[in-house]
Amino acid sequence: MRLVLLAVGTRMPAWVNDGFSEYQKRMPPEMRLELEEIPLPKRGKADTASLIRSEAELIRKRLDKYPAARVVALEVKGRALDTPALSRKLGALKDIGQDLVLLTGGPDGLCPALSASADEQWSLSNLTLPHPLVRVLLAEQLYRGWTLLTGHPYHR
């Protein structure tokens, strides 16, 4: 099973790359965590709605590589999961051999149409989180979910 984070934005600060990498290394081979960065479109004089639509097109092209995956858009107004629920979802997907692709937008969020086309929308918090932080937080929670599934003592 693959867990793929499709994230808009490149050139993250070292602490973001280091944090994500730390949890990525901890994931087992049967539930490997991957990151695909999608470059931000040129900001220029384009309006926000156009930029978000451009980002959505870039994400859709990447999604073509995962036709059978469960797609989840990370949204502030998505469904809030606690760690046990996330762990159960990971376990169910692993049992059926389905990959999970998680979408996170750039500074302006995800295109509403793209988010609506996802299989689910999850919220990591009611707070608006900076998109670099989302990478680290998500990686840690995926790792925590796996540890809960396997009885590893990390999740107490």
The annotation places the binding site at 74, 105, 124-129
44: left (phi over 0), alpha (psi -120 to 50) or beta: left
Residues 6+ apart with CB under 8 A from 153: 147
Instruction: Please check whether residue 5 is in contact with residue 35, taking contact to mean a CB–CB distance below 8 angstroms.
Output: yes
Say if CB 145 and CB 83 are below 8 A apart. yes
Question: What dihedral do alpha carbons 48, 34, 63, 91 form, nearest 10°?
Answer: -110
- Known binding residues for S-adenosyl-L-methionine are 74, 105, 124-129
AA letter at 39: P
In sequence order, what are the residues at sequence separation of 6 or more whose Cβ sits closer than 8 angstroms to the Cβ of residue 34? 2, 3, 4, 5, 24
- In Å, what is the CA distance from 147 to each residue of 16, 50, 70, 152? 22, 41, 21, 5
